[in-house]
Structure 1
């Protein structure tokens, strides 16, 4: 049953419970209860149910067949785990490269207006600033600056970051699983400081990536600005028409 006293919105709670039910007790092609039956079972409004079902459809857990109902999809099983999908390390391993990461800076600071907007925090809220150089086969590939809200990840240390991947820390140490991430891409030119780390010339073409990472509670838990060498880094996206 959903807890109406919790700060987590009811439709988020419903999404999680339906996901658990699909993963543990259902298989592809099984029919879900009707909206009315879900409303009765979880004692929520039809609006809440529809919001949850729409998001589950976007995540690949269900599909709707007009006039027949809503059914379990196996699309979510075919998708990579999000912590791997947005992991430089796993991406490079998948290309047969040997990845490593150099931490260039780890500090606590106050966000500028761009970062505050990206994290959806106030400029008075402290954030961790993590600067990393991503390397594959000893070749610099990506210069990356990540901002993480201190109030959600109290006690985060450099030693923790050096010990295991950041998203593993989120999930294992803080119980904040990655739900999804929004990314924006733009073609650009390498700046002087970036050129030094990426071993390219100032003014060389690059790919700039801005990412907002959301946890299961729909909070932004990471805002990252990355600069990738365009001569080495390829980002592939598959578009599916509904």
Structure 2
């Protein structure tokens, strides 16, 4: 077991952070509860100030999260998303051994306003599907997304289809539509009250807005606006000279 070395030049709170990270990785595991501040003070013979500084730094770095009235817990590891090639939420979660679920909150066929029509390169007033889904992995909310899909390309699609089958599988298997590429735009945003509730986020957790434009062989086939939990994802991009 690692101990605090009070003669070291390394600040006490940094030593304590290292000790707690080791415990979280080897003993507590994801969502495991950390001891209270008082218990940590007594066990490692450090001040409350040192413990709070270590805990605050661990929370800021995404190692832990706090639940009011219950305590401090080990944060689940972030899903690392490689942005070099096309990906889908369902397939990526399956690769990680997680069970993906999509809960469809709304499903409508509407006339696209000018903004949505421009996003999909359609004439204003064109019919499009509009649907919102909460995406979960192992029953943990990960992202909330609203999608728009041209109706003329995929006639007859229903809410029940989306509840039982991944969207891109519907494109491929039912409509023989091949996805050629997708573009994504990322920006940090303040999380809205609705999304915060659906994603079970505390106000201190950041979120990321992701706009996706999915291209078929000769036209856009999907525009999706997503709010993703900042504590659940990290994105990897490789830059070459």
**Alpha-carbon separation, structure 1, partners of 2:176 and 2:228:** 30
**Alpha-carbon separation, structure 1, partners of 2:163 and 2:119:** 25
- Please say if 1:125 is aligned against 2:113: no
Q: Deviations over 1:39-63 (max 9, x none)?
A: xxxxxxxxxxxxxxxxxxxxxxxxx
**Alpha-carbon separation, structure 1, partners of 2:228 and 2:129:** 22
Higher relative contact order structure (alpha carbons within 8 Å, sequence separation ≥ 6): 2
Does the 8 Å CA contact 2:120/2:222 hold for their aligned counterparts?
A: yes
Higher gyration radius (CA) = 2
**Which residue number corresponds to residue 212 of structure 1?**
213
How far apart are 1:164 and its partner, in Å?
1.5
Report the aligned-residue RMSD: 2.2
**Alpha-carbon separation, structure 1, partners of 2:204 and 2:153:** 38
Task: List alignment gaps of at least 5 residues for structure 2.
Answer: 1-81
**Alpha-carbon separation, structure 1, partners of 2:90 and 2:194:** 23
TM-score (norm 2): 0.61
Q: 1:202 to 1:108 in 2, by over 3 A?
A: farther
Report 1:104-123 matches (<5 A).
104-123=105-124
**Alpha-carbon separation, structure 2, partners of 1:98 and 1:139:** 10
Task: List alignment gaps of at least 5 residues for structure 1.
Answer: 1-78
Q: Deviations over 1:206-236 (max 9, x none)?
A: 011001000122x000000000000112222
Count of matched residue pairs: 160
How far apart are 1:112 and its partner, in Å?
3.0
Structure 1 residues 136-145 or 157-166, which shifts more? 157-166
**Alpha-carbon separation, structure 2, partners of 1:113 and 1:236:** 34
Does the 8 Å CA contact 1:198/1:229 hold for their aligned counterparts?
A: yes
**Which residue number corresponds to residue 100 of structure 1?**
101
**Alpha-carbon separation, structure 2, partners of 1:142 and 1:100:** 11
**Which residue number corresponds to residue 135 of structure 1?**
136
